[in-house]
Amino acid sequence: MQGAFYTNQYNNMFAQAGYDELEIEQKKNAIFQALFYGPEGVRVYYPIGEDMGYMTDTGNNDVRTEGMSYGMMFCVQMDKKEEFDRIWKWTKTYMYMDSGENKGYFAWSCGLDGTKNSYGPAPDGEEFFAMALFFASNRWGDGEGIFCYSKEAQELLHECIHKGETDGIGESMWERSNHLIKFIPNCDFSDPSYHVPHFYELFALWTLEEDREFFVKAASASREYLKKACHEVTGLNAEYAEYDGNPLRKTPERPDWMFIDRHDWFYSDSYRLAANIGLDYEWFAKDEWECECAEKIQNFFYDNLETNDYDTYEINGTKLGQKALHPIGLLATNAQASLAAKHNRKMEYVKTFYNTPLREGERRYYDNCLYFFAFLALSGSYRIWK
């Protein structure tokens, strides 16, 4: 099998499940409209002034690089250039750090007024910014200043892998010795859900020539890492994991703040891995292990499919007695794994997801971002813009 990168053919799994293609398109557009311009309790995007806007994490009442980069990806996939540029300008105006050890990165959290809540970055935001910017360049063409999208993406990725290399100031976002993305720059472990080898394949084509070989190796390293990070029976992964794939361990050298909450379990961050392997297989189809892992995850959660009632788990599947904070998001990512799965159950996930509405209320942001990614992917609309 060849992936969509080579064939330019994308699976519309909703159509394969029997849904009308016009209805699917209308529903996709309605989801975008709800998230960007719907009523309070539904929307997560807010335009600001004449030329800016932000995506808000409604559960934490802040703006995060995660959500801003997701919003930009939604917009480029939906051909919404105005909203894309608004989000990017807000990001560059308020989140970009132009001094200090994290110069060249983006503050991972800001207040709704743009005040930085932290001067630390989160690498998943940077990699999604870069991918969305490359797609924008390829779909709409480069503009001037911060809207010269390809230049912005190239410079950002260069900073991410070379930071501190010559002057010793700051830390890179990828561990240069093993090509694995870090949870945060100043740490020695990863977050498996940050691993998007399908992005790295494209970075290797479009970033600065001197950085391309790094991302060739990063794509391969990430696919191998995920095999270590996912449990051999359940397919589940920890939120944070060592470079050898094992769940994060507490050591005397690591600061206590990293362990105020548990992160060695299958919890909110973890959900995204199923979506990532589904999309990686759809785009590149380079590793049949992704099909096996997708099926393990879907088999593990199959009994919950009808009720959408999920717990928190050890990666071996042991329940921990704490309800999942984002059940719609978990359903969405499990459904997106159908892009890689080959068993019959995958269509049950597709149909259940299609008939599940967006989440409303305080905790809607994360669930509905994962929801829209899954809808784009399963409708054949999460595309590589070359």
Q: Which of 85, 175, 269, 292 is catalytic?
A: 269
**57-69: b (≥16 Cβ within 10 Å) or e:** bbeeebbbbbbbb
Q: Which of 57, 66, 280, 287 is catalytic?
A: 66
Burial degree of 348 (CB within 10 A; 0-12, 13-18, 19+): middle
In whole angstroms, what is the distance from residue 295 CA to residue 284 CA? 18
Name 86's Cβ contacts closer than 8 Å, sequence gap at least 6: 47, 48, 51, 52, 53
Instruction: Point out which residues pair with 174 in neighbouring strands.
Output: 181
Name 67's Cβ contacts closer than 8 Å, sequence gap at least 6: 44, 55, 56, 57, 365, 369
**4-22: b (≥16 Cβ within 10 Å) or e:** bbeeeebebbbeebebeee
In whole angstroms, what is the distance from residue 242 CA to residue 229 CA? 8
Strands of 151-276, DSSP E:
174-175, 180-181
For 278, phi then psi, to 5°, come to -65, -45
Active site residue 66: yes
State both tokens at 247. 């769940």
Catalytic residue set: 66, 269
